[in-house]
Every structure is written in C-alpha cells, then in structure tokens.
Amino acid sequence: MLPIQLYIGDMQVDLNSDSLVLFNWTETDLSNPTIIKNGYSKTITLDGTHRNNEVFGHFWNLERYQGYGISNNRSDYNPSYRVPFVLYYNGSVYERGYVKLQRVITHNKVHKYEIGLFGGLG
C-alpha cells in the first residue's frame, strides 16, 4: 500500500507506484507559511481505472451527463468547477486544495487523466 492517498471530492483515487506528487517549497516557505501563495504539484497522470473513471464521471465518454461536481460518492465531474482534493501522507493531511483536469489521454481505448493539484490559497 502506498503511503500517499489522494481524495478528489470525497472519492479516493487509484494511484500507482509511478504516481509522484511533488510540491515545491523552500525552507523559508516552511518557516514563514504566510508567504506561500499557492502550492502546486507538477501535472500527474492517473490511470483510467474503474475507480478513477468514476471519480471523473467517465469524462472521455461523449455521451456522459455534464453535472455539477462530486457528491455523495457519485461523480458528474465538471471541469469548470473547483473540485476539492485532500492529499494524505501516512494517514495525515499533507495538502488541501482543488483539482484541475488538464486533459484526457486516450490510446487504444485506454484512458488516462492528467490533473494539476492547486493547494492552499490558490
């Protein structure tokens, strides 16, 4: 089991061992958190597993219903809304913010989701 868990809305996302979430802070940022403007990870790519397809409401499907976000463990993912995320590391909250779906990659009927995680005060 990975020490990192990512929840988008209230739904857990499947991460694989290649999923790497990097936040860039300096020692000054950590000693004076009021100067951090926005924590941002580099773009990460999520596999189109059953769970991840549910989180993003099968966004690749052109016949999908365009909803208003994630609620009640059901996703009608809408990229124009700021959908919250929580990143846990070893069971403790590491970062909070919102998710931006940057693009869906489809190759040989296999889907992947490229997302950006915007933290804190964004």
pLDDT of res. 7 = 93
**Strand ranges across the sheet with 83-89:** 11-13, 4-8, 83-89, 92-107, 110-119, 44-47
With a cut of 90, say whether residue 1 has pLDDT above it: no
The owner of tokens 């913010």 is: 97
Q: How confident is the model at residue 80 (pLDDT cuts 50, 70, 90)?
A: confident
pTM of the entire predicted model: 0.73
Q: Pick 10 or 28 by higher pLDDT.
A: 10
Give domain limits for the chain: 4-119
pLDDT tens digits, one per residue of 6-27: 999 888 999 986 665 655 545 4
pLDDT of res. 118 = 86
Q: Give me the mean pLDDT over the 25-36 stretch.
A: 53
pLDDT of res. 46 = 93
Partners of 80 in beta bridges: none
Partners of 85 in beta bridges: 8, 97
With a cut of 80, say whether residue 64 has pLDDT above it: no
Decide: helix, strand or coil at residue 81. Answer: coil
pLDDT of res. 12 = 92
Contact 77, 59 (CB under 8 A): yes
With a cut of 80, say whether residue 108 has pLDDT above it: yes
Contact 64, 53 (CB under 8 A): no
